[in-house]
Amino acid sequence: MQPCEAFEPPQPLLEYQQAPLPYPVEALGDLLGPAVERLAEVIGVPCAMAAQSVLASAALVSQGHANVQLDGRTYPLSLYLLTVASSGDRKSAVDQLALKAARDWERQQWILYADKLKAYRAATRLMSKANTSKKPSAVEGAEPSEPLPPRLIIAEPTIEALVKSLCHGLPSMGLFNDEGGQFLGSSTMSKENLLKAITTLSTLWDGSPIDRARSMAGESLRAYDRRLSLHLMLQPHLANQLFKDPVINGQGILGRCLISWPERLAGQRLYKAVDLTRDANVQRYQQRITALLQKPWSLHQDGALNPATLELTPRARRAWIDIHDTIECQSGEFGELAGVQPAAGKAAANVLRIAGVLAMVEEARQLEDAHIQRASTLMDYYLAEIQRLTEQQPANSRLEEADRLLRWLAQKGWTHFSVRDVNRNGPRFARKSSRHTAELFVELITHRWLSSRDGKTFEVRHVPPQ
């Protein structure tokens, strides 16, 4: 008898052989870095996961205020981040704290919006009555303008809704979701809409104008200088599909993203009786995020952002050019970055974006050499990570198929079954032959997802994350 066997957690089926590099937290600086360390230590998540959420939050509140300018070229401060983590890895907990200041600000803005909207409607009714009664004295002055809905963070929009929000709402937003499958699994990313969605997201990252021509009245849109930052936290099986999708890879959206798949810490996360809202390092971070949110954007008359210019010091300029040229040389056919050319092609631009975010958070008026060097250190991590994840296949295809079979069983509600059931009515990939089906069962039993008392009937021991 083995009383503890049922409580042993299952082993992941899809793991990469090479361990991720440690996240260079010190490169985030004296404000973001200590906040990341405290979030990671107390919540019990890898530093890389906490850093992704904190850096995404910093980009969100910085992107509306400034652009980096270099040799007549404009680099927005928007960042796209993807974090891969399994169910139970506490991604929601760390993301909620990293975004707390932004969500608190947004909530307050919605309260103010309700009051402004009520006043606007009252003024509109008054103007309408005055016009009807033909009393010129009552209609003097400009017509009231409708307040903008203050949606700062959006979780699972359609692409049309996202574009409309940027055009008719706040000109700077964040597409953030700690369960990224909600967005990627929605109709927005269906086969019919996938190409349009990816193209739109790429265009927004570039800072290009929004231009939609439609035959239906009121549906055509043109808007300039809108900004979007993105952070999606994905389950491993969804990330694997994403990395292999030919449409997604062909459009270069992953090359724009800063991707991290941190190590798991399950089994090591002992409870820490600490209130992070009272932690000095976290408070400093939250206060700076709030200050950037409370700072009014400079806007053009058409509602477009009019960001300030962050220029590079001569020394920073030379450093960035050296980084750019090194990355370019390594991207050649026989270079170290040859296998990740889409990411390498955007790496130098991402260095400037990250450096700009660091400068804004640290209240710098220009990009110093230190900003460039620290941003380059962070980019080295992301390039190493994308190499690890895209150049290296999972342990073997049998494990990948075992993972697919497990998720199929959960979806169909098959908790008790036999090999014969799967061979007759299971998914096609799992019934190529009786031997192949048996091999998949062996993997699932070995990794403690299935159990069997008689070797003929089987039971699912754990529900896999969806």
Q: Structure pTM? A: 0.82
pLDDT of residue 326: 97
> Does position 391 have pLDDT exceeding 80, yes or no?
no
How far apart (Å, rounded) are the C-alpha atoms in residues 153 and 162?
10
> Does position 317 have pLDDT exceeding 50, yes or no?
yes
311 forms beta bridges with: 69
Round the CA-based radius of gyration of the chain to a whole number and report it. Answer: 25
Count Cα neighbours of 146 within 13 Å in the Cβ-side half-sphere: 8
CB 115 within 8 A of CB 75: no
Q: CA torsion sign, 25 to 30 to 31 to 37?
A: positive
**pLDDT per position as a tens digit, 61-84:** 999 999 999 999 999 999 999 999
Burial class (CB in 10 A: 0-12, 13-18, 19+), 140: exposed
pLDDT of residue 355: 98
Instruction: Check residue 216 and give left, alpha or beta (phi > 0: left; psi -120 to 50: alpha).
Output: beta
Q: What is the mean pLDDT of residues 407-436?
A: 87
Return the minimum-mean-pLDDT range out of 68-82, 94-108, 244-258, 352-366.
244-258
User: What percentage of residues in the chain have a pLDDT greater than 70?
Assistant: 89
Q: What is the mean pLDDT of residues 299-323?
A: 96
> Does position 2 have pLDDT exceeding 50, yes or no?
no
- The residue among 256 and 182 whose pLDDT is bigger is 256
The residue among 33, 32, 48, 29 whose CA lies nearest residue 381 is: 48
> Does position 393 have pLDDT exceeding 60, yes or no?
no
Instruction: For domain 28-107+148-320, give the fold.
Output: Rossmann fold (3.40.50)
pLDDT of residue 13: 72
CB 199 within 8 A of CB 253: no
How far apart (Å, rounded) are the C-alpha atoms in residues 396 and 16?
10
Long-range contacts of 443-449 (CB under 8 A, 24+ apart): 443/13, 443/398, 443/399, 443/402, 444/13, 444/402, 444/405, 444/406, 447/10, 447/11, 447/12, 447/13, 447/402, 448/8, 448/9, 448/10, 448/11, 449/10, 449/13, 449/406
In three-state form (DSSP H/G/I as H, E/B as E, the rest C), the secondary structure along the chain is: CCCCHHHCCCCCCCCCCCCCCCCCHHHHHHHHHHHHHHHHHHHCCCHHHHHHHHHHHHHHHHCCCEEEEECCEEEECCCEEEEECCCCCCHHHHHHHHCHHHHHHHHHHHHHHHHHHHHHHHHHHHHHHHHHHCCHHHHCCCCCCCCCCCCCEECCCCHHHHHHHHHHCCCEEEEEECCCHHHHCCHHHCCCCHHHHHHHHHHHHHCCCEEECCCCCCCCEEECCCEEEEEEEECHHHHHHHHHCHHHHHHCHHHHEEEECCCCCCCCCCCCCCCHHHCHHHHHHHHHHHHHHHCCCCECCCCCECCEEEEECHHHHHHHHHHHHHHHHHCCCCCCCHHHHHHHHHHHHHHHHHHHHHHHHCCCCCECHHHHHHHHHHHHHHHHHHHHHHHCCCCCHHHHHHHHHHHHHHHHCCCEEEHHHHHHHCCHHHCCCHHHHHHHHHHHHHCCCEECCCCCEEEECCCCCC
pLDDT of residue 308: 97
Predicted confidence band of residue 466 (pLDDT cuts 50, 70, 90): low
Q: What is the mean pLDDT of residues 18-47?
A: 94
Q: CA torsion sign, 13 to 16 to 22 to 25?
A: negative
Predicted confidence band of residue 138 (pLDDT cuts 50, 70, 90): very low
Q: CA torsion sign, 376 to 380 to 382 to 387?
A: positive
pLDDT of residue 216: 57
Return the minimum-mean-pLDDT range out of 52-61, 132-141, 211-220, 321-330.
132-141
pLDDT of residue 6: 45
Q: What is the mean pLDDT of residues 400-408?
A: 86
Average pLDDT, the chain: 88
CB 24 within 8 A of CB 378: yes
pLDDT of residue 15: 61
User: What percentage of residues in the chain have a pLDDT greater than 90?
Assistant: 54
pLDDT of residue 33: 98
pLDDT of residue 88: 86
Torsion angle of C-alpha atoms 175, 178, 181, 182, degrees rounded to 10: -70
pLDDT of residue 392: 62
> Does position 390 have pLDDT exceeding 80, yes or no?
no
Predicted confidence band of residue 434 (pLDDT cuts 50, 70, 90): confident
In whole angstroms, how far apart are CA 17 and each of 14, 37, 192, 254? 10, 26, 35, 22
Where in the chain are the domains?
28-107+148-320, 397-460
> Does position 141 have pLDDT exceeding 60, yes or no?
no
> Does position 330 have pLDDT exceeding 90, yes or no?
yes
CB 84 within 8 A of CB 242: no
Predicted confidence band of residue 133 (pLDDT cuts 50, 70, 90): low
Q: What is the mean pLDDT of residues 81-93?
A: 91
Q: What is the mean pLDDT of residues 180-201?
A: 76
Predicted confidence band of residue 239 (pLDDT cuts 50, 70, 90): confident
CB 121 within 8 A of CB 113: no
Instruction: For domain 397-460, give the fold.
Output: Arc Repressor Mutant, subunit A (1.10.10)
Q: What is the mean pLDDT of residues 249-257?
A: 87
> Does position 143 have pLDDT exceeding 80, yes or no?
no
pLDDT of residue 4: 45
Return the minimum-mean-pLDDT range out of 97-101, 231-235, 320-324.
231-235
